[in-house]
Amino acid sequence: MKKNKILIAVLIALMLAVLAYFAADIPFYTYPETGVTASLQSETDTELTFSVAGNAVFSLGWFEAMMPFTIIVGLSLVCILLDVLLRKRLYRKNNVPCARTERMKFGRKQNLPRFGFEMIRWSIMILSFVLLIWGGKILGTALSSLQLPILACPYNEEQLTGAGCFLFSNLDMLAESSVDEILWFAGSFIVCAVLFGRLLCGFVCPLGFVQDVMHELRQKLHTEGIPLNEKLYAGLRFAKWIMLLIFLGIGLIGGSFCDFCPAITLSPALAGFKTSLYFSGFMMVVVLVSGFFKRRCFCNICPMGYLLGLPHKVSLARLKKNAVACTECGACYEACPMGIKSIYTVREGKNELSIDVTTADCIFCGECIRRCPEDGALFMTFAGKKIYTASRMKFMRDYTTPRRKKAAENE
Amino acid sequence: MSVYAGLDGGSTYLKAALIDHTGKVLNTGVKSTGIDNNGAAKVLLEQLCREIGVSRIDYTMATGYSRKILEVAEDDVSEITAHAYGVRITAPQGYRPGLIVDIGGQDSKVIYLDDQYRVKNFSMNDKCAAGTGKFMEVIAQILETTIDQVGPISLESTAPCDINSTCVVFAQSEVISLVARKFDRRDILAGMHASMARRIVKMIRKNEMGGDILMTGGGAMNIGLRRAFEDELMRDVYVATHPQFNGAIGAALIASERRN
Amino acid sequence: MNENMNITPMNSAQIRQQERFDRKGTAVAEKMLRQVRELSHMPETLEPFLKTLESIFSRREDALRPQGVPTVGTYCVMVPPELIYAQGAMPVKLCGGSYTAFGIGDDIAPRDACPLVKAVMGFEEIDAMPVYQNCSLMAVPVTCDCKKKLAGWLQERRPTAVLHVPANRDRDEDMERFVGELYRFSEQLEQMTGFSLTYGRLADACRMTADAQYQLSRFIDLRRKHSRIIRGSFSMAVMNALSYTWLPDWTKQLSDLNDELASLAKQKKTAAKENQPRILLTGSPVIFPNFKLPLLIESMGGLLAADETCMGERGFYDPPAIVDRTVDGMLRALSNRATRPCTCPTFADNLRRIYRIRQLIKDYRIQGVIYHVLRGCLVYDYEYRQLEEEMGKLGIPVIRVETDYNEEDVEQLRIRVEAFIELIKYGGKQE
């Protein structure tokens, strides 16, 4: 049985690698070659400085540029609908006696959003989404040398900053880059990874924002996702290794990750750049659909994220736990989009009241702390200062009757 | 000189002790209670005072079964605490505080002390007569002797009998049958002591036992029982001075601390 | 209307037995309630809780609830009340604490069985407790041996839902298996009430319990910050009353109690003196009317500052952390809550209980722990050793008190509790 599993895994890996290599030959949506579109074959590209301006938002050109993304969204919705309608027939029937997959029911009155970590994180995510896509238009390209190590897509000229993902995935180009570029690249990566680590994933990455939006959509519609357990995360971990291999290796064998990467479908299009999409279009559909059914599914396999997480032992953002206050309720594990179980299971440490449970996977979204019902059992620190602590009363307020409704009931 | 009194009100006997502020035992006495606990207590204390020429008692503390009804006492304390305090005075030289085994007429207690004579834990048997003075009393009666004789007699035994019954009432019948079968009463008494020692040792959790073992209570005056204990535990067992009055002395000591 | 009522008419001997049960049961309940009321510093807003206990045990009425709502008898904290409320029924926790019922059950269950199960069997036999008799369904999680056999025994007599609780809860598969159990239970509930499990109903039920747990969190917070604000016996009464109260009513009553305690705290009033040793009671559950131990502790000069028992604070402490707002997500959260943070010793690995007790000791500045073991409750007895060791490391004295459901050993308990309280007082670990 195990031999079979290994065989299947290797076959899938090979298939994906082949797809990645030939990604440029699998068109999703191509624009006619008119000289103003960006070509994506890395052999012919030597520089990224095109002198083509993105179309203004809501102009005709912009709608043309948005066409592929619109198709992607459409395809994703179709896939989601199909899955929800056929789920019972396809794969749920053996699972539980009566699986009541709620479909498309609209949400009930929730509590008013409170000011807190959650709100700050969403604000920063929205801000960085705007800046990373249209920032150049607003603030100029002063920061364009800074290569943020996230999937922010360099094909969008209007970005506020550069994107380190390009050079990572085309390591062969390092040989041809200037010393300046190499220093900026390495420097940005080291500074960002060491200082912030995967805080960037949780707060800045636009692809992360998109996935969070898909998740909230599912929550509002009360549609069931897929069951989360160790088996799923083990599978995702395996996919991550493949992605990493493809990410780092494909440039060296003549392919281009950009043909494979989902980020290219989003950022350039929104800024008005008509970018032809190859296999990446299908990847984006996968990201949207999987992100709908499982929170931040792509982040689990993102190679850039993995690289950011490597120096987690020294980065300034830390997740800590008070093992005595923890009741091992597992809510943190259930809430974690990255499936980190050690926050829940770890009990031993040098100082029981403040055990460091930061892992390479943690994107610092803060969900674990939000869902922790014990005062001070989990807390996040940045540069030694506590920035978010679990609190029972705050936890309860997420679930109790909203104040105004309560007041009405008491009349 | 300040004088402090301790009263230990058992169900049949009332014990009293007088100590001074240095902890020296001035006088002790026992009286059978009858139905009037208060009256007996008053009479006993007056008698003890008269015997040593003391006119007033500064503070009186009560312990034991009837401690809450003795009006002559200013306050009361449980027997466990009283015994633990008592051994501070009554423990013989060389005793390192560890375990107190108190064998009273109606109950038996095991008290674990830390090295400061404070109570760490305790265990009581107050449901069953086996392992208490009652057991010895009943057997002594059948063998036509008295309880203060059973000890010395049993020491002369060379081949102790086995007494298997756990219950005092059944043990009675067993002893009668042993007598009928012409067993020597010395051997029977030795067997009785061994049986008691086993019962009480069952209450002791060896891993909690640090320090030495000290016997108090009426049973401590029984040399046969002490020997049986030592044989069962394979170690020396100390006996408190004034074993019968240990509770009263402890109560008096608490009285003196209360005052100061 | 109870469909399971015995159709055969009772003969006069049975009627006389019921009358005796009524008399004795009322006598014990009244005595306990009187002792609770006699304790000093009883808050006025405690009265509704005592009235509930009086109604159930003294006057033997059925649980008060809206018209037409059936009741489901539950037997452990693993049965989620949210699910039962969502499907239009009311859960009543029927773990027995009655001396009289215990006496009857003594003849049915083996001698060494735990008194809780004997009391439940007694209830079934005597047919005189409406809160028990009128249940349309019994939900028994299979936790310890006695509950297992109780489930089998009950199944022969009335509709029973048996829930298999996993022995290990840290593996995902085990926790998910319990989700399957909840789905099956939900089907049985649907058959009984006619209401199917929908998102709306489940969300409303979870909101209802969240409101109640919010008040409980306030209660706990008040007791943590102002350590002598209320006696432990009163807290026990509050938590015991939860088993038989319609949840929104209980929430309102607790909210009033919290308000009173908050105002008492502002006026710096306390219910006990500073030097009274603060005691933690842990172990087998203390179920009304078996309030022997809490009452003893407080009448012997100690303060029952906190408890770690499943009919006490633990019975409603853990909230379900709903991370996924779907039916499956909520059931998963309920299953998670029922298994993972639960400190019941029927789970194979229960180290989390030690940590929980350590946190309680910190929160309430506990000076001594009384470990309550019901005769026959082996699982709690097993854990005594380890707890004693851990408490030894912290320098906190522990004693093990074993008791049954009868009033004969009150005096023996009294001397032990008293000696223990003195042990703390004279022990030199004053605070």
| DSSP letters spanning C316-362 | G-PPP---S-SHHHHHHHHHHHHHSS---TTSS--HHHHHHHHHHHH
Is chain B in touch with chain C: ≥3 Cβ pairs within 8 A? Answer: yes
Name C139's Cβ contacts closer than 8 Å, sequence gap at least 6: C72, C73, C74, C75, C79, C84, C91, C160, C161, C163, C185
Q: In Å, what is the CA distance from B99 to each residue of A164, B116, B235, B238, C399?
A: 74, 12, 13, 10, 17
Q: How far is B12 from chain C (nearest CA, A)?
A: 18
Average pLDDT value for chain C: 91
Name C171's Cβ contacts closer than 8 Å, sequence gap at least 6: A230
Residue A103: band (very low, low, confident or very high) from pLDDT cuts 50, 70, 90? very low
pLDDT, average across residues C258-278:
90
pLDDT: which is higher, C217 or A189: C217
- Within 8 A of A230 by CB-CB distance, chain C residues are 171-172
pLDDT: which is higher, A346 or B147: A346
Nearest Cα to Cα of residue A169 among A282, A50, A278, A260:
A260
Nearest Cα to Cα of residue C224 among C398, C359, C368, C43:
C359
CB–CB contact C333 A222 (8 Å): no
Q: What is the C-alpha separation between B17 and B30, in angstroms, rounded?
A: 9
3-class secondary-structure state, position B103: strand
* Letter string b/e over residues A34-59, b meaning 16 or more CB atoms within 10 A of that residue's CB: eeebbebebeebeeeeeeeebbebee
Tokens of A118: 């959650």
pLDDT (tens digit per residue) in C80-97: 999 999 999 999 999 988
pLDDT at C241 over 90: yes
For chain C, which residues lie within 8 Å of any Cβ of chain B, measuring from their own Cβ?
A: 397, 399, 412, 415-416, 418-419, 422-423, 426-428
**A contact chains, 3+ CB pairs < 8 A:** C
What is the reported pLDDT for A33?
Answer: 57
Is chain B in touch with chain A: ≥3 Cβ pairs within 8 A? Answer: no
Q: Is the ipTM of this complex over 0.95?
A: no
3-class secondary-structure state, position A148: strand
Name B229's Cβ contacts closer than 8 Å, sequence gap at least 6: B101, B197, B200, B201, B213, B215, B237
Q: How far is C251 from chain A (nearest CA, A)?
A: 12
What is the reported pLDDT for C355?
Answer: 95
CB–CB contact A401 C211 (8 Å): yes
CB–CB contact B79 C415 (8 Å): yes
What is the reported pLDDT for C431?
Answer: 37
CB neighbourhood size of A98 (10 A): 12
CB–CB contact C340 A396 (8 Å): no
Pairs across A and C, CB distance < 8 A: 128
What is the reported pLDDT for A100?
Answer: 46
- Within 8 A of C210 by CB-CB distance, chain A residues are 396, 399-401
Q: List the single residue in A98, A224, A392 with the smallest CB-CB distance to C326.
A: A224
CB–CB contact A330 C336 (8 Å): yes
**Does A104 contact chain C (CB < 8 Å)?**
no
pLDDT at A35 over 80: no
**Helix residue ranges per DSSP H, A222-358:** 230-249, 267-271, 279-293, 297-301, 303-309, 331-335, 342-345
Residue C400: band (very low, low, confident or very high) from pLDDT cuts 50, 70, 90? very high
Q: Return the C-alpha torsion angle A367, A368, A371, A373, nearest 10.
A: -150
pLDDT: which is higher, C61 or A12: C61
The dihedral region occupied by B242, where left means phi > 0, alpha psi between -120 and 50, and beta the remainder, is: left
Locate the chain A residue with the closest alpha carbon to C199.
Answer: A102
Four-way CATH pick for A316-397: 3.40.50, 1.10.3470, 3.30.70, 3.30.2000: 3.30.70
Q: What is the C-alpha separation between B12 and A76, in angstroms, rounded?
A: 91
Q: What is the C-alpha separation between A63 and A58, in angstroms, rounded?
A: 6
Domain map of chain A by residue range?
Answer: 23-43+53-87+112-309, 316-397
Average pLDDT value for chain A: 80
CA B25 from chain center: how many Å? Answer: 17
Name C249's Cβ contacts closer than 8 Å, sequence gap at least 6: C64
Tokens of A151: 């999937």
- Within 8 A of C349 by CB-CB distance, chain A residues are none
Tokens of C344: 């019941």
CB–CB contact C336 A328 (8 Å): no
Residues 377-396 of A with CB under 8 A from C: 392-393, 395-396
Q: How far is A351 from chain C (nearest CA, A)?
A: 14
**Helix residue ranges per DSSP H, A315-362:** 331-335, 342-345
- Within 8 A of B79 by CB-CB distance, chain C residues are 415, 419
| CB contact at 8 A, C78 and C289 | no
Sign of CA dihedral A202, A207, A210, A215: negative
Q: What is the C-alpha separation between B68 and B37, in angstroms, rounded?
A: 11
CB–CB contact C362 A392 (8 Å): no
In terms of average pLDDT, the best of A379-388, A395-404, B218-227 is A379-388
pLDDT (tens digit per residue) in C325-336: 889 899 999 999
What is the reported pLDDT for A50?
Answer: 37
Nearest Cα to Cα of residue B80 among B116, B124, B114:
B124
What is the reported pLDDT for C45?
Answer: 95
CB–CB contact A347 C351 (8 Å): yes
Locate the chain B residue with the closest alpha carbon to C429.
Answer: B118
Pairs across B and C, CB distance < 8 A: 39
Tokens of C337: 């809550």
Q: How far is C256 from chain A (nearest CA, A)?
A: 13
How wide is the angle at C-alpha B77 spanned by C-alphas B74 and B80, nearest 5°?
Answer: 155
Residue A275: band (very low, low, confident or very high) from pLDDT cuts 50, 70, 90? confident
Pairing of strands C71-74, B237-239: unpaired
- Within 8 A of B78 by CB-CB distance, chain C residues are 415, 418-419, 422
DSSP string, A32-46: ---SSSBP--TTT--
- Within 8 A of A96 by CB-CB distance, chain C residues are 179-180, 183
Q: What is the C-alpha separation between B34 and C383, in angstroms, rounded?
A: 46
Q: List the single residue in C176, C333, C356 with the smallest CB-CB distance to A327.
A: C356
pLDDT at A39 over 50: no
pLDDT at A374 over 70: yes
Q: Return the C-alpha torsion angle C10, C13, C17, C18, nearest 10.
A: 30
Q: List the single residue in C327, C336, C351 with the smallest CB-CB distance to A100.
A: C327
Q: What is the C-alpha separation between B186 and B192, in angstroms, rounded?
A: 10
Tokens of A124: 């920063």
CB–CB contact A371 C362 (8 Å): no
Kindly report which listed range (A265-279, B108-122, C282-296) carries the lowest average pLDDT score: A265-279
What is the reported pLDDT for A158?
Answer: 66
What is the reported pLDDT for A53?
Answer: 58
Mutation to test the C interface, candidates A92, A109, A214, A222, most C Cβ within 10 Å? A222
- Within 8 A of B122 by CB-CB distance, chain C residues are 399, 416, 419, 423
Q: What is the C-alpha separation between B18 and B56, in angstroms, rounded?
A: 11
Name C339's Cβ contacts closer than 8 Å, sequence gap at least 6: C78, C165, C166, C169, C174, C175, C178, C347
pLDDT, average across residues A354-374:
93
Q: How far is C323 from chain A (nearest CA, A)?
A: 6
CB–CB contact B81 C399 (8 Å): no
- Within 8 A of C183 by CB-CB distance, chain A residues are 96-99
Pairing of strands B13-20, C160-164: unpaired
Q: What is the C-alpha separation between C328 and C305, in angstroms, rounded?
A: 39
CA A211 from chain center: how many Å? Answer: 6
Residue A411: band (very low, low, confident or very high) from pLDDT cuts 50, 70, 90? very low
Kindly report which listed range (A22-36, A59-73, B190-204, C139-153) carries the lowest average pLDDT score: A22-36
Q: What is the C-alpha separation between C181 and C169, in angstroms, rounded?
A: 14
Is chain A in touch with chain C: ≥3 Cβ pairs within 8 A? Answer: yes
Q: What is the C-alpha separation between A364 and A199, in angstroms, rounded?
A: 5
Kindly report which listed range (A121-130, A321-330, B11-20, B163-172) carries the lowest average pLDDT score: B163-172
What is the reported pLDDT for C191?
Answer: 92
- Within 8 A of C427 by CB-CB distance, chain B residues are 118-119
Q: What is the C-alpha separation between A79 and A90, in angstroms, rounded?
A: 14
Sign of CA dihedral B135, B136, B139, B142: negative
CB–CB contact C329 A224 (8 Å): yes
pLDDT at A130 over 50: yes
List, in order of start, the domains of chain B with CATH numbers: 1-91+245-260 (3.30.420.40), 93-239 (3.30.420.40)
Q: In Å, what is the CA distance from B80 to each residue of A385, B161, B247, C92, C298?
A: 51, 34, 8, 43, 19
What is the reported pLDDT for A71?
Answer: 87
pLDDT (tens digit per residue) in C100-119: 899 889 889 999 999 999 99
pLDDT: which is higher, A376 or A180: A376
pLDDT, average across residues A192-221:
90
